[in-house]
């Protein structure tokens, strides 16, 4: 049997080289599912995304999703993409063509050579989050402190992506674009919460939290950055910063807090899991040779 992709409409074009197109997944000409492809609005036209790969119930567990994904990669190569990305929601199953939840969908992607790079997580917050540890306190970041903090944050964010295989130009462009979108008015940005944590009078870390609408993973608050000074790591201050985030959320009336973690950052991943954060989505990538 031959599995092919058949366009369902014309290719769409957007700014900065953005491309997108939908396809039917066909077996010997018979439609058995759908897939939508696009270039990545964050990283540019050299990165493609496989979106909404779905195989009909009656045709699952026959390798249709595997062949469809490989055919999708060929389309992306034809577009000039050098990397393919896919996101699997934590509740995925039929949407990924695996039929058995996110674990099976992630396993399918891994079998095709995709590596999980980062993971969305979220937590429904208790009405009364625990107090900060004795000796710990927080204050708003000052305007004088902000420029150095923001430059260090942009640099660190870009370097994290570079360390995980993203070309430097793409990583820096993403860092600049995200900063401009998320903190357009600096400390005066609506919904931005930037705090400095101290312990027994010594400043040990910072927290950047956003409150408001249209945040990732259906949350009403999102942690964009938790940073503990290098000389103070391993002393529990990361946990204190997350407790601070939860307290800030509840004070503002937010009940669901989300975050993103790189999966190779084992200490951070274990911290979030220990605090009760659960996956909302798995984000995987593969180099297209």
Of 22-26, 96-100, 251-255, the least confident: 96-100
Yes or no: is domain 3-113 CATH 2.30.29.30? no
pLDDT for 42 equals: 84
Which tokens in the block code for residue 251?
A: 């004070």
Looking up tokens 């990538």 gives: 285
**Separation CA 233–CA 231 (nearest Å):** 6
Token code pair at residue 191: 């919904």
pLDDT tens for 136-194 read 999 999 999 999 999 999 999 999 999 988 889 989 999 999 999 999 999 999 999 99
Q: Say if residue 102's pLDDT is above 80.
A: no
pLDDT score recorded for residue 1: 67
Q: Is the pLDDT of residue 96 over 80?
A: no
* Bridge partners (DSSP) listed for residue 116: 284
39: exposed, middle or buried (C-beta count within 10 Å: 0-12, 13-18, 19+)? buried
- How many whole angstroms separate alpha carbon 45 and alpha carbon 68? 21
Confidence at residue 17, expressed as pLDDT on a 0 to 100 scale: 84
Q: Above pLDDT 70, what percent of the chain? A: 95
Second-level CATH architecture of 124-280: 3-Layer(aba) Sandwich (3.40)
Residue extent(s) of CATH 3.40.630.30 domains in the chain: 3-113, 124-280
What are 236-283's pLDDT values in tens digits?
999 999 999 999 999 999 999 999 999 999 999 999 999 999 999 999
Whole-number pLDDT of residue 101: 61
What percent of the chain clears pLDDT 90, i.e. is strictly above it? 81
- 219 versus 196: which is more confidently predicted? 196
Residue 248: exposed, middle, or buried by beta-carbon count in 10 A (0-12, 13-18, 19+)?
buried
Element (H, E) at 256: strand 256-262
132 CB neighbour count, 10 Å cutoff: 17
pLDDT in tens, 70-80: 999 999 999 99
pTM: 0.88
Q: Which residues contact 35 (CB under 8 A, 6 or more apart)?
A: 5, 22, 23, 25, 50, 51, 52, 53, 54, 68, 72
29-43, 70-84, 98-112, 255-269: least confident range: 98-112
């Amino acid at each position: 049997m031959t599995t092919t992709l058949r366009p369902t409409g014309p290719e769409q074009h957007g700014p900065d080289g953005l491309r997108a197109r939908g396809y039917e997944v066909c077996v010997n000409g018979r439609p058995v599912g759908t897939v939508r492809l696009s270039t990545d609005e964050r990283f540019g036209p050299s990165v493609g995304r496989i979106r909404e790969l779905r195989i009909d119930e009656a045709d699952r567990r026959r390798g249709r999703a595997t062949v469809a994904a490989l055919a999708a990669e060929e389309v992306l190569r034809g577009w000039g993409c050098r990397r393919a990305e896919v996101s699997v929601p934590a509740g995925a199953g039929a949407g990924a063509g695996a039929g058995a939840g996110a674990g099976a969908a992630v396993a399918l992607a891994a079998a095709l050579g995709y590596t999980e790079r980062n993971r969305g997580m979220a937590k429904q917050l208790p009405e009364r989050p625990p107090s900060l540890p004795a000796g710990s306190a927080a204050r708003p970041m000052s305007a004088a402190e902000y420029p150095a903090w923001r430059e260090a944050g942009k640099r660190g964010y870009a370097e994290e992506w570079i360390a995980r295989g993203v070309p430097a130009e793409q990583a820096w462009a993403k860092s600049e674009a995200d900063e401009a979108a998320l903190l357009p008015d600096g400390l005066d940005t609506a919904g931005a919460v930037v705090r400095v944590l101290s312990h027994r009078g010594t400043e040990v870390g910072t927290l950047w939290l956003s409150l408001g609408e249209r945040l990732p993973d259906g949350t009403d608050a999102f942690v964009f950055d938790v940073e503990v000074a290098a000389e103070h790591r391993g002393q529990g201050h990361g946990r204190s910063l997350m407790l601070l985030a939860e307290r800030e959320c509840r004070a503002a009336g937010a009940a669901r807090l989300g975050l993103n973690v790189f999966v190779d950052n084992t200490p951070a991943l274990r911290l979030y899991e220990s605090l009760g954060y659960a996956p909302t989505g798995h984000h995987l990538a593969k180099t297209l040779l």
